[in-house]
Structure 1
């Protein structure tokens, strides 16, 4: 047998695959590719025999849209790009183009709301068609020429069955070919898909909700004047915009660094109302004037004008959990930024430019900022920045997130003054080797990718030499190398969960000891941000998307290698081999890559042979409050495992959840990846919620395709979390507290299709269950009540037909 080795061959085969995909590329088969059908059949008029009453968009209509329509229609993955999370999104309308397309050979024109166009006429030129009446206005025309009204009526005329699974004609696959009919195409849509009314694949609105929406549409679908900013908010905006637009070169470079890291998240002023958030943007206009945001794709793109301003733009769209992660602004935060970046003595000799080759590389752009300041800035809010990697647009799609395991833990290398000063010089001298795929823009191909990959390998070689010279010569490889959260910062340890095509990051060590773990240093932290967030274009080509995925392979292995340094030398290779099993890993020669750090033995004296478990347990103990809350359900280290101030109901339920968390393999076969479990008590106000996370075991995560061939379901594990984890519930479950033991036993033995059907008949809230909206409201309200400010509405696009 011929043994094929080498990561270059691995990469080459990926590009061959993508090239074949591109050659065979076919446009998604929508109902039509034109806004105007060649034939215009007579459409069914909407029933006007309804009570007309004046309604307010903000007071009456928006609450309905938020609680019913935003469940699917928000963010980049809105079906037909129809965003119902704001009036501007409704006015923009729908499109036949999908934002997510892993086959396109040329970059797509971006269509970001509030940025790429701001007028109705402008969106029509970009191919968006109306869902409201834009012809002659009258009460009758406002309904009969509204797609929203027609889709609501279609649902009313063709209700779904209220029990059992949905019929096969209701397609739920995220990769399905969407039917995005314009008004002229609706009659054909209605005839071909009678069960595809809105809400799609879910029960209809109540009659009162429907009447409210139809009354608003009938009256012309107008938006109320939104309330203006409070005086307190305006004062905070002015203060922060003044800080970010300082005139000196030092201030300008610092502001650019802050912007390129904070632009994607939701900013909130400490102490202000929980629902008020802002985006940090680059604007043509200064403070005090209307924001005119630059239309750049990436935050380091050339602004195209000589002078621009960093501005805070209020977020007016409904907050949804899948893209909501919060960076808090306060007087203390401003003082911290000044201490990190403005008080240290250093000189900015020249402001960097925006040419792609240079700007895509933060070690080039910000070489004159002290590395320890940059690193501490990232560590201070590590969960926020990892949420950018996880909740950013790159992480929608199975092929994007199968580069990581279903569960892993993260610790960080401690920033040390003497070492970080040398690191600043090392990174500046070697920034050429840290060139990112985004430096090639959308035209990156095989040759360019091989160059970038080769530079990455050369960097890792140089890094190893530097670490031994500058760090390990003076420090042992022990717990003192791990960041301790400065004694109080609970960002020191993180857990990441992957849920097939999306992911979640939380503070602390959650779940049982995972298969893999990362230890992250500054250059690695920075590169992940510039790979997956700042440098990623969701509208980019297949080549751009694939090279991003491939480069992340190298970064993941670098983080794993950092962790292996803390394991006894003789056990490192065996541990890494257990992470990369299977024919594909061997075929593509991943283990020809050096296992770094094998020359220096760890100074940690282990007491057990379970090194990974002991390593993290001892770190968490050393960190104290900075290590996060102990996981008393999945890792009860010492009885009694009772959460502080827990109610009798919580203590009773936690005990049963510990039994549930011990299930694994085929015992949890009936569960999808994310389930929200409501445990009912005698008092509905005291009902409890737990998230059940099925961690799917793969033999390796080295391959972008054929994930099913690498599945090892007999090794799946279950993590049970009090409260909420994840933005996309796959199923709602409900059980009386006294019936939880029976629920656990039923789950353990639900193996066949018939047994699973019985399980979900009894405990599941299926998509067509008339009560599903009550459960959706209850889960959302409880989440918003328990985590105001960080919570958003859950997304139903991945709710399964079980």
Structure 2
């Protein structure tokens, strides 16, 4: 009762705060203040000059030690050290992620919004390299990188135990971001905040190499050169994307608006070569001048632009790396989907926001079945856009989903999809997305959009009964079977508190909730969370995106409930939305659709959800992916294909770990990488431990702690790697696994946690942490050379 009352109060406070945001929305000016201090002289003596190559000597150090935190939108102080351009750009006091921003921020995307050092200085970025009169001494004294390295060396962290509380690690902590002139005060106030932050220092050799490069003037020495094979592929694909016919132009626009956020890779080419699909002012054969639009459907501002493939020269990091493969087979598939069907494009759609933000308006003349099959073919890629794109960062952003859930898809059917194309075109007004309002969306506009969503669901229900369910039973024939071979047919999503992961197949034990996704739902999630999301947008934009996703999640859950027995549906949904007073929060009390038609599935047990997915797996065969023999071992022996003796023996012990739940796993963070050491270090094994936290509901942004049910938490153990942000590295000898599991089961207090992590954990200040970081990264790269990227240490906890 106390928990529910507290939930009401916090939720009521949320709506009051949202209203206040809207009232003061256009009357707030943000101001920034700075502070200056006497510039200090660097105490590290200049190194004797030696020739240092950025590409061969410096970049490997930055990649292995600095990119662990300094990459992508969430790079502290926007200092991106994943490329020379990022180092040269420098740092900024502005943060990209700001949940309190009432005025949209000017974007600061590397390679796009500015391309010169002087331009970045005008945008408020300050240097981390010397930009005054060069000399060996001033090159060091005016380098913020050198100062931060020195600060770490002068004030080392304790090498054992937990870090002192003065080392702040919270994701939402206030960053200092000192400029070179402010560094002296920073050093006095925060002596333990040298770089790498909250981690052991670089080796002396690494420091000296960096200092020699800084001393010599920090020049890049390698230009990216394309191979003749890469040039040929780029030419072929750019010709495809820029074909002149109306049909080709509309198809290319559709493909671009869905692929632009990921990394393109040519099949058979080196595993480390990737490209971005961009819009450029310049045609193929000329240097790319990328348009500076924020959203992919923004007005290009020019009469003619071109789709181009820009080489990715920054270091690949896992948190935003997901790959779409381009090949001859892929081009044939696109031709089959979009050019083989007989349809005519009468005119090209425009780019006005009200229209362009709505894909059902923009692409109404493209067959819906072609669009849907395009998404299904690579469903994990498109869900990765939701998960690894800029929208999915922070607790408030991702607590719209459960910690673990499974996804299946409605099967595309020619007769139904033809009628669906007409239905979507006729009703596209009801499918208006929040992005159509741009940054001006407020409470009134949001309520309008939500009302339209509810009207659409009502119309959709009538249409489905008329066009689909009148002719088809609600059974397994409505579920996409992956065309017998495509392992995108079933997906699992994990939420890790403030980030998330999506993988193929059904991973983990049977979850609390499940989604069944149809075409309009798939498309709207993409245009809500990817194409229509502005990471530099206002708090109003971010909040309305989160609220709209509530409706889409419930629609996906409702689709799943159609396959459950009628009498069980309400009880099942009620178990997902506990603690909500429907009278006070009727906003979240959505109708339960599909209750009039009973499922045609004959269930043999009372565990309908579990049986539903088990039967789907059996029906799909290879398209269902590999079975999860760790978390759902139905009958011994559960042996993975091609496993070694060590793997089989370890898997048997790991299953005991996977069966822990509730308070037995309370000592674990969200994501742990477990290294099981063997007699041969080259054959050590890796498992990812994922703690799934149970919540009463996921319908509120705030007060998550009041909705926790830790006694119902579960643990998923996955062979290999899952997740981009490890919270802790664990190292356990194979023969010690039973002791580790037993100790974990009984760890409750802080002193017991200290013993556990003192024995098995690799803490942030452990001098060996960099060895483990390198080992995990290299093993990941060896196992998945095209899809692997460097892991991020921003969420590594102080345990």
Structure 1 residues 698 and 642: CA distance shift in structure 2, 3 A:
same
Match of 1:388 in 2: 385
Instruction: Give 3-state SS (helix, strand or coil) of 1:558's partner.
Output: helix
Structure-2 separation of matches of 1:203 and 1:593: 51
**Alpha carbons 1:584, 1:703 under 8 Å: kept:** no
Once the two structures are superposed, the pairs formed by residues 629-708 of structure 1 within 5 Å of their partners are 629-708=626-705
Structure-2 separation of matches of 1:567 and 1:553: 22
Instruction: Give 3-state SS (helix, strand or coil) of 2:564's partner.
Output: coil
Match of 1:714 in 2: 711
Q: What TM-score results when the alignment is normalised by the length of structure 2? A: 0.97
**Alpha carbons 2:70, 2:80 under 8 Å: kept:** yes
**Alpha carbons 2:400, 2:701 under 8 Å: kept:** yes
Structure 1 residues 784 and 370: CA distance shift in structure 2, 3 A:
same
**Alpha carbons 2:46, 2:215 under 8 Å: kept:** no
Structure-2 separation of matches of 1:138 and 1:98: 33
Aligned-pair CA distance for 1:639: 1.5
Match of 2:552 in 1: 555
Instruction: Give 3-state SS (helix, strand or coil) of 1:311's partner.
Output: strand
1:284 aligns with 2:277: no
Structure 1 residues 385 and 700: CA distance shift in structure 2, 3 A:
same
Match of 1:409 in 2: 406
Which structure 1 segments of 5+ residues have no match?
A: none
Aligned-pair CA distance for 1:584: 5.7
Structure-2 separation of matches of 1:692 and 1:642: 19
Aligned-pair CA distance for 1:270: 0.3
**Alpha carbons 2:28, 2:102 under 8 Å: kept:** no
Match of 1:620 in 2: 617
1:448 aligns with 2:445: yes
Structure-2 separation of matches of 1:665 and 1:10: 26
Match of 1:183 among 180, 186, 192: 180
Structure-1 separation of matches of 2:291 and 2:652: 54
Instruction: Give 3-state SS (helix, strand or coil) of 1:393's partner.
Output: coil
Aligned-pair CA distance for 1:637: 1.3
Match of 2:493 among 468, 491, 496: 496
Instruction: Give 3-state SS (helix, strand or coil) of 1:704's partner.
Output: coil
**Alpha carbons 2:476, 2:601 under 8 Å: kept:** yes
Instruction: Give 3-state SS (helix, strand or coil) of 1:337's partner.
Output: helix
1:89 aligns with 2:86: yes
Structure-2 separation of matches of 1:438 and 1:260: 14
Match of 1:459 in 2: 456
Describe the superposition over 1:165-197 as per-residue Cα deviations: whole angstroms up to 9, x where unpaired: 000100001111101111110000001100000
Once the two structures are superposed, the pairs formed by residues 721-760 of structure 1 within 5 Å of their partners are 721-760=718-757
Match of 1:486 in 2: 483
Structure-2 separation of matches of 1:592 and 1:287: 52
Match of 1:194 in 2: 191
1:144 aligns with 2:151: no
Describe the superposition over 1:92-119 as per-residue Cα deviations: whole angstroms up to 9, x where unpaired: 0000000000111110000000000000
Instruction: Give 3-state SS (helix, strand or coil) of 1:394's partner.
Output: coil
Match of 2:47 among 35, 42, 50: 50
Structure-2 separation of matches of 1:132 and 1:620: 56
**Alpha carbons 2:39, 2:180 under 8 Å: kept:** no
Structure-1 separation of matches of 2:444 and 2:45: 63
Alpha-carbon RMSD: 2.0
Aligned-pair CA distance for 1:16: 2.6
Aligned-pair CA distance for 1:586: 6.7
Structure-1 separation of matches of 2:749 and 2:724: 29
Aligned-pair CA distance for 1:342: 1.1
Structure-2 separation of matches of 1:257 and 1:29: 37
1:594 aligns with 2:591: yes
Aligned-pair CA distance for 1:11: 9.6
**Alpha carbons 1:82, 1:95 under 8 Å: kept:** yes
Match of 1:115 in 2: 112
**Alpha carbons 2:233, 2:266 under 8 Å: kept:** yes
**Alpha carbons 2:22, 2:442 under 8 Å: kept:** no
Aligned-pair CA distance for 1:12: 8.7
**Alpha carbons 1:282, 1:310 under 8 Å: kept:** yes
Match of 1:574 among 548, 571, 575: 571
Which structure 2 segments of 5+ residues have no match?
A: none
Describe the superposition over 1:44-83 as per-residue Cα deviations: whole angstroms up to 9, x where unpaired: 3232253421110011100000000000000000000000
Match of 2:162 in 1: 165
Q: What TM-score results when the alignment is normalised by the length of structure 1? A: 0.97
Once the two structures are superposed, the pairs formed by residues 243-262 of structure 1 within 5 Å of their partners are 243-262=240-259
Instruction: Give 3-state SS (helix, strand or coil) of 2:287's partner.
Output: coil
Aligned residues: 794
Structure-2 separation of matches of 1:198 and 1:726: 25
Moved more, 443-452 or 523-532: 443-452
**Alpha carbons 2:265, 2:273 under 8 Å: kept:** yes
Aligned-pair CA distance for 1:226: 1.8
1:134 aligns with 2:115: no
Structure 1 residues 732 and 28: CA distance shift in structure 2, 3 A:
farther
